[in-house]
Amino acid sequence: MTWLVDVGGYRLAVEQVGNGRPPVVCVSGLTGAFSEWQDVLPDLAALTSVVTYARPGMAGSDPLPAELADRAWPPSRAAEQLHTLLTQAGVPAPRVLATHSLGGLIAEAYAARYPDHLAGLVLLDPTAPAMFLERAARDPIREDDPAGIRFDLAAADAERRDVHLPDVPAVVVSQAPHHPWWRADPQMHLPWTPEQASARWQAFQREWVARLAAVHVIAVDAGHLVHEEAPGLAALAVSAVIDAVRAGTGGVRLDRRHVTRAGGRLA
């Protein structure tokens, strides 16, 4: 089912499949929308209700009004937008947020602002704003959704410094260390060597794990688009968090054999 939800003068496209609680809300990375979750949805919809949405200007969502499009957004603004969307759409809380890349920053801001509405977290190769800020001499410190939100990574980095995160079941799934995350742009690793860039990215992934006290899974042969290249592994991570929420124990249990069969390894 797909519908449009007003979030304050403009509408965002929302899709929902499956039934059950806790609901899973998929938060896409930069330029992402519904399509990037399609390979994961069947497994998750068999377990619970799953909601995907498109940020402004993508996949049927309205573009941002001019007065909002002219300013850069910290992740907290996108988290507020998501909270309004889920409230208006009647998605029950608490929710598990399953995120990719930049979506991890939105989820982190959401967790800090709406802890009672959060049941668990799954971050697929989450973005590390500090790494991109180190490249600011070469590139802008902003990332843009097409026709939509301009994300300010300097503001993102500042927001993270003193944030308090709730204690919820969490899993971080990182791309394979040997898989070049810059392959869409062979120059993206500069000013480092490819090996140095990969090492830095993995270090920031471990930092995410520590921040969330999360279980860490490495995709054996998947790049940045973990949920598209290893959808079974992404679905396994989300299902483990759902199980932990339902059990009420707080701890995520992942069977090493199941992780291996899905194309990953426990770090």
Terminal CA-CA length for the chain? 37
* Sequence letter at residue 69: A
pLDDT tens-place string over residues 38-51: 999 999 999 999 99
The Cα–Cα gap between 225 and 213 comes to 23
Asked if residues 152 and 71 have their Cβ atoms less than 8 Å apart, the reply is: no
pLDDT tens-place string over residues 213-244: 999 999 999 999 999 999 999 999 999 999 99
Worst-scoring range by mean pLDDT, 114-118, 181-185, 243-247? Answer: 181-185
Give me the residue label for tokens 């929308």.
33
Q: Provide CB contacts within 8 A for 6, sequence distance 6+.
A: 88
More confident residue, 107 or 152: 107
User: How would CATH label the architecture of 2-266?
Assistant: 3-Layer(aba) Sandwich (3.40)
Q: So what's the pLDDT on residue 149? A: 82
The tokens for 201 are: 């990215």
Q: So what's the pLDDT on residue 182? A: 60
Find the mean pLDDT for residues 126-137.
76
The tokens for 204 are: 């920031």
148: number of Cβ within 10 Å:
22
pLDDT grade for 80, boundaries at 50, 70 and 90: very high
More confident residue, 211 or 33: 211
Whether the pLDDT of residue 138 is over 80: the answer is: no
pLDDT tens-place string over residues 177-203: 887 666 656 666 667 777 888 888 899
Q: What is the mean pLDDT of the chain?
A: 89
Worst-scoring range by mean pLDDT, 22-26, 110-114, 198-202? Answer: 198-202
Domain boundaries along the sequence of the chain: 2-266
How many C-alpha atoms does 102 have within 13 Å on its Cβ side? Answer: 24
pLDDT grade for 207, boundaries at 50, 70 and 90: very high
pLDDT above 70 coverage of the chain, percent? 91
Stated pTM of the model: 0.93
Q: So what's the pLDDT on residue 141? A: 44
Q: Is the dihedral of CA 143, 214, 176, 221 positive or negative?
A: negative
The tokens for 163 are: 């944030």
